[in-house]
Amino acid sequence: WQRYMSWGHTGLGWVPTSPNIPKTTSPIYYAATGVLGGASGVDVGIGTGAAFEYAGAQGINANEFTSAISRLGWPGVSFSPYSHDGFSGCRIAISPNSPADLITLDVALLYELNRRKNGAIVNGMHGDELNLFHKVYGSASLYNALRRGQHPGQITQGWASQHASFRAARQPYLLY
């Protein structure tokens, strides 16, 4: 194993960690839409053969949403419009070695869907659903930032110093 390799490059078998993580590529998609999937009234493909490979909601113009997300420039990630069961948005295709920051993509997808739904996605979360969203993300800070209308770039910039500290702290423990 080398650091540049994805699981598929190892030649090792994949053991699904969940019914929604059935493929070697599933964790990549979970990183890109896992937080979004905890939000109210969204579709990330759960229940299909492509869980976490979608980002959509009811009443979204799939072509316009897909164009807007594509214009943000995610290297190694492409998007195509989709519509099914009353939901529409984009289907996501991620290259296994994509250099894109997938959690930033997750936040951008959530922000753009929420904006197009006039805040209904974030404002629609209450009780157990809101508690689960906070657990998936790790705190209430993303929810609060989105309620304030904070742009994804501002949200993720707020992580920069913690991210740099983590990367420095982990360095001595990397084996490869």
pLDDT digits (tens, 9 = 90+) for 92-122: 999 988 999 999 999 999 999 999 999 999 9
**Is 137's pLDDT higher than 80?**
yes
The reported pTM is 0.92
pLDDT in tens, 17-56: 999 999 999 999 999 999 999 998 999 999 998 999 999 9
pLDDT of residue 66: 98
**Read out DSSP for 4-29?**
T--HHHHT-----SSTT--STTHHHH
Residue by residue, what is the 3-state secondary structure of 48-117?
CCCCCCEEEEECCCHHHHHHHHHHCCCCCEEEEEEEECCEEEEEEEECCCCCCCHHHHHHHHHHHHHHHC
pLDDT of residue 24: 92
- Residue 94: how many CA atoms within 13 Å on its side-chain side? 27
Q: What is the mean pLDDT of the chain?
A: 93
pLDDT in tens, 72-85: 999 999 999 999 99
